[in-house]
Amino acid sequence: MPEQPNVEANEVYVAVFGGGSSEGRGGNLQNFVKAEIVYDPSTYLNPPISHNLDGVFGSTPTGQGNFLYLYNVMLPLSNDPLVLDFMVGACDANGTPYTLDHPLPVGYEEEVLEQVYSMNRVCGFWQRKRISGVYPKMEGGQYVMTSKKGDYIADEIPELEEVILVRNFAKISFWSKEECPFMIQGFRLVDTPKTGSIAPYSEAQGYNTPYIDPRNSTAASIIGTYTGHELSYELTSGLPSGISNNSGWITKWDPGQNMCYDYMYERTIPKNSDPAFAETGALLSVTWTKVYLLDDEKLRQELWGNPNRFYKVSLVDENGAYLNILRNFRYVFEVSNITADRHPTTPQEAYNGAFLGDVSASVRTSMLDDLSNTKSRIVVAGRSGNNMSYTSIGAGKSFNIDFYFYPDASSSEVVVTNGNYSSAGKKVSIQTDIETNGSYPQAIASISDIVVTHNTNGTDNHGTITVTLKDSQPGTVQKGKLKIVGQVEGAHALYREVEFTVMEKQVFVAGDVQTTVTPLASDAMNQETTVTIALPDGLPRDMFPLQVKIEAQNNGLTSIPDNSVDPAISALPVKYGPSAFNSDRNSYYFVKTITYDDYATLNGTSYDYTNEFPCKFKTRLSNGNATTIKVNDLNGEYFEEKTIQLTVE
DSSP assignment of 206-241: BTS-S---GGGS-HHHHHHH-------S-B--SSPT
Q: How many CB atoms lie within 10 A of CB 268?
A: 18
Question: What is the β-pairing status of strands 528-534 and 612-619?
Answer: antiparallel
Q: What is the DSSP string of 571-582?
A: PPPEEEEE-SS-
Could you tell me which of 432, 462, 466, 433 has the C-alpha nearest to residue 449?
466
pLDDT exceeds 50 at position 276: no
CA 121, 224, 174, 214 torsion-angle sign: positive
User: What pTM does this model have?
Assistant: 0.61
Q: Give the chain's end-to-end CA distance (angstroms, integer).
A: 76
Q: How many CB atoms lie within 10 A of CB 178?
A: 7
Q: Tens digit of pLDDT for each residue in 409-426?
A: 444 444 333 334 444 444
pLDDT exceeds 50 at position 57: no
pLDDT for the residue numbered 384: 59
Could you tell me which of 192, 218, 222 has the C-alpha nearest to residue 205?
222
Which one has a higher pLDDT value, 24 or 107? 107
Identify which of 55-69, 81-95, 594-608 has the greatest average pLDDT.
81-95
At residue 471's C-alpha, the angle toward residues 479 and 383, to 5°, is: 70
Q: How many residues does the chain have?
A: 649
pLDDT for the residue numbered 371: 72
Residues 6+ apart with CB under 8 A from 582: none
> What are the two backbone dihedrals, phi and then psi, of residue 242, each rounded to the nearest 5 degrees?
85, -5
DSSP state of 28: B
3-state helix, strand, coil in the chain (%, to 5): 10, 40, 50
> What are the two backbone dihedrals, phi and then psi, of residue 561, each rounded to the nearest 5 degrees?
-65, 150
Which one has a higher pLDDT value, 343 or 362? 343
Specify whether the CB–CB gap between 417 and 452 falls below 8 A.
Answer: yes
Specify whether the CB–CB gap between 464 and 451 falls below 8 A.
Answer: yes
Q: 78: helix, coil or strand?
A: strand
Confidence of residue 403 (pLDDT cuts 50, 70, 90): confident
Could you tell me which of 166, 48, 172, 47 has the C-alpha nearest to residue 118?
166
Task: Report the C-alpha gap between 39 and 50 in whole angstroms.
Answer: 11
**Residues of the chain with pLDDT > 90: what percent?**
30
**634-649: b or e for each residue (b if 16 or more CB lie within 10 Å)?**
beeebbeebebebebe
Residues 6+ apart with CB under 8 A from 309: 286, 287, 288, 303, 343, 344, 345
> What are the two backbone dihedrals, phi and then psi, of residue 558, each rounded to the nearest 5 degrees?
-125, 130
525 to each of 522, 528, 556, 559, 619, how far by Cα in Å? Answer: 9, 9, 10, 14, 6
Confidence of residue 618 (pLDDT cuts 50, 70, 90): very high
Which residue type does 434 have? I
Q: What distance separates the 2 farthest-apart alpha carbons in the chain?
A: 101
Task: Please provide the average confidence, as pLDDT, over all residues in the chain.
Answer: 79
pLDDT for the residue numbered 440: 43
Q: What is the DSSP string of 43-54?
A: T-PPSPSEEETT
Residue 313's DSSP bridge partners are 282, 356
pLDDT for the residue numbered 393: 93
Q: Tens digit of pLDDT for each residue in 229-273?
A: 777 667 787 888 889 999 999 887 765 566 788 889 988 875 544
Q: 304: helix, coil or strand?
A: helix
Confidence of residue 324 (pLDDT cuts 50, 70, 90): confident
Across 471-480, average pLDDT: 85
pLDDT exceeds 50 at position 19: yes
Q: Which of 109-113, 133-137, 386-390, 458-462 has the lowest mean pLDDT?
A: 458-462
Of 2.60.40.10, 3.40.190.80, 1.10.10.10, 3.20.20.100, the CATH number of 366-503 is 2.60.40.10
Confidence of residue 566 (pLDDT cuts 50, 70, 90): low
Cα torsion through 348, 350, 354, 359, rounded to 10: -100
Confidence of residue 29 (pLDDT cuts 50, 70, 90): very high
pLDDT for the residue numbered 491: 52
pLDDT for the residue numbered 272: 44
366-503 and 509-646, same CATH topology: yes
pLDDT for the residue numbered 642: 96
Across 474-492, average pLDDT: 72
Q: Return the CATH number of the domain spanning residue range 509-646.
A: 2.60.40
Across 448-476, average pLDDT: 69
Residues 6+ apart with CB under 8 A from 609: 535, 537, 538, 599, 600, 601
pLDDT for the residue numbered 179: 85
Q: Tens digit of pLDDT for each residue in 140-184?
A: 888 888 766 678 888 989 989 888 888 889 989 898 888 889 999
Q: How many CB atoms lie within 10 A of CB 278?
A: 20
pLDDT for the residue numbered 60: 39
At residue 536's C-alpha, the angle toward residues 530 and 538, to 5°, is: 140
HSE-up (13 A, CA, CB side) for residue 414: 29
Specify whether the CB–CB gap between 615 and 555 falls below 8 A.
Answer: no
Confidence of residue 453 (pLDDT cuts 50, 70, 90): low
Q: Tens digit of pLDDT for each residue in 485-532?
A: 776 655 556 778 888 899 999 999 998 889 999 999 888 889 999 999
pLDDT for the residue numbered 362: 61
pLDDT exceeds 50 at position 469: yes
pLDDT for the residue numbered 518: 95
Task: Report the C-alpha gap between 372 and 505 in whole angstroms.
Answer: 36
Confidence of residue 33 (pLDDT cuts 50, 70, 90): very high
Cis peptide before 519 (omega within 30 of 0): no
Confidence of residue 280 (pLDDT cuts 50, 70, 90): confident
pLDDT for the residue numbered 152: 84
Identify which of 25-29, 378-382, 428-432 has the greatest average pLDDT.
25-29
Which one has a higher pLDDT value, 455 or 642? 642
Domain boundaries, the chain: 7-166, 169-194+232-361, 366-503, 509-646
pLDDT for the residue numbered 565: 61
